[in-house]
Structure 1
Amino acid sequence: MALQISATNPEHPALLLELPWHLPLEEWPEDYLVPLPRGISRHVVRYARAGTEVIAVKELAERPALREYELLRDLDRLGIPAVDPLAVVTGRVDTEGAPLEPVLVTRHLGGSLPYRSMFETTMRPATMHRLMDALAVLLVRLHLAGFAWGDCSLSNTLFRRDAGAYAAYLVDAETGDLHPQLSTGQRDYDLDLARVNISGELLDLEASGALHPSVDPIEFGTEICARYRGLWQELTRSSVYPAGKYHYIERRIRRLHDLGFDVAEMQIEHSSNGDSVTFVPKVVDAGHHQRQLLRLTGLDTEENQARRLLNDLESWMATQDDYAPGDPLAARPEVLAHRWVRDVFRPTVRAVPLELRGSMDAAEIYHELLEHRWYLSERAQHDIGLDTAVTDYIEKILPKARETLQPTSREAD
């Protein structure tokens, strides 16, 4: 049987041909391997270099290899955080012509670690809570997309550190299955497996002395269930707001932020009774909001500013008559975004006199104005509008801010 490489990119087969496919993975020479930490797996897994790429190579039977390859491609199309599938290599034989197992090739997720590597030094309970948060988010996102994991565990997940928080990525889709929508029973089955698997993995760590003494493995296993159910309820319930109560939308976003989750997608549907709001969370890499805002508007801001501005942009777009997601005749998001910059962002920023801005850039000024509008709207129990917020901010907030920044006469001397 001839060696066959099924790949997503036409450039990959040529790079992969350089690897020693005639050898079992366990016997690959060190010259080909990259010394990266590996998690526990039922299969042989090695990290290797193919050109400039660092790849993960996993040996398994042909049918599950092809199935997992297609599932990972489906998850990639759905925007789910998972390892990137590159190829399936079949038709492997050794130097004597004996068949070798096919392999699944994925791109190594830069900056990620398997959970056991993260416990090489004792992890504090607060950090472990954030780890469970990230895994709960991943499981919710998979279920929202109709993916039943079938083996949710710490071992089948890679984690990226991000300024004290974590992002979780699916690394093993072998037992998964994609459906148009999951039933409550399917979700509960995944959740129960996650609870049992995680408790068992933490018990193993406890036995090896790698677990903080205050951590109860059983309690942490059940924690993901509570975190998952609270997040699922918050994300899937519809909220109906009276017309003009758009600050309620922001209140919902803030509540999700308080839970530790970013809202990277938001759908607002108009009805005769008000606005039906559905949120879809995304666990995103650092700089995601910066890149998205820059692509849509040309505004180059800090990450938190970008997230705040994107939330306002999406709320504003939903009020436009030509905003109709999925309609090919509707205005494209880029068109609406540039209209928002021209008609909302720039006029609002320009309304603040230059001499009162101090060292604040345009994005920070707009963020401050949004915060002030939120405060005034909460106090008034209705959306007071941006123009009113700008006027009040200029008259009452900026003068006080400048007074606190002015040096005293003694300091000036």
Structure 2
Amino acid sequence: MYSAYFKRTFDAVVASLLLVVLSPVIAILYALVRQILGAPVFFVQERTGKNGKSFHMVKFRTMKSSVDASGKPLPDEVRMTKFGNFLRKASLDELPELINVIRGQMSLVGPRPLLPQYLKFYTPEQNRRHDVLPGVTGWSQINGRNSLSWSAKFELDVWYVDNQSFLLDLIILLKTVFRVFNPAGVSQDGHATMPLFDQKSSSQIAVIGAGGHAKVVIETLRHSQEFVSAIFDDNPALWGQTFFAVPVTGPISKLTELPGHKAIVAIGNNDTRRELAEKLNCQWVTAIHPLSIISDSVEIGTGTLVAAGAVIQPDTKIGEHVIINTSASVDHDCRIDSFAHICPNASLAGGVHIGKCSLLGTGSTCIPGVRIGANCQIGAASVVTRDIPENSIAIGIPARALKSNILPQKQGKAAEQTDYKAA
């Protein structure tokens, strides 16, 4: 109701009032830009608006027009002036955009309008940021601004599209005023402005498996500013479709046509993950979410996933293709062997050893120094207070080994013809 009927009226009225009230400030800024940076005073650039329609956004110019011998503009950090940097930090360069708001090309609040050349790089999910009018300020601007990665900015933009309301807009506007006096995140470290968005220049990673766990892996890679180029899965119904805004290219066997391609196995089943990792010739990547906490002394093997909220303490050693899932806690001096899976909210105290291909269930706990053998499964919310022998299933408080967990080994052609569908 708000976005369909009231938001446009609110934008037009407030933008008009602001133009009148701030007209003396705008006039002073016009004179200063003309005196310090010269003509033209305004920076007019084509940007992408609602539904992908282009418009010309107006800002105060903040950089010199210096070019090299070939006529190409010099780098931003060379052309940026102290005065221009002040305008950016105080967001005063954005004031002329009130004209775009009155014209109906922008809103006071919404995703920031970006260059039309970026359109070809958005995933379908990211492109949803164009379902609303772009804004003078927005949800990502008050949550990090240009210090955020592109993927994080787009995630915040899409969140705003799904949750916009009058109250949320008021909160964003008030926090924007606070940001003017606390101008953090104007640029990324090492850059005068936000680096250009170009996913084609990023490392392209293939994800193996199109199940629920793949969503966690893909999201982790996106937050790490990696570009997931394709998914391979043995379910024919998925071929040619998109999964979590990534195309499913074909069966996993097709990945063998790309030897050395960067990839990660996004399948939760330990045995399947092991078989694929040993079978395929790929350059395995490690996915570590920026919201995890990992000590500098931790060793992590290739192909391992460390999800958001995970904490790994000093001198822990983690093998290859391990899953340290959401909000798992691994204390000091632990050892987690290859292809193990530490499920969400599982907790390992200091000195715990988890054997190869073992799984520690959601919310389970290990007291200090216990050893869990290879190929074990520990039930959800169980508490391990004593060593668990290999090939065991253990549940309870305290956890007790109930029965053997030995699985028949695949041999000969049966192993070669195995299909690995989403798991």
TM-score calculated relative to the size of structure 2: 0.27
RCO higher in structure (CA 8 A, sep ≥6):
1
Report the structure, 1 or 2, having the larger strand content. Answer: 2
Report the structure, 1 or 2, having the larger helix content. Answer: 1
TM-score calculated relative to the size of structure 1: 0.28
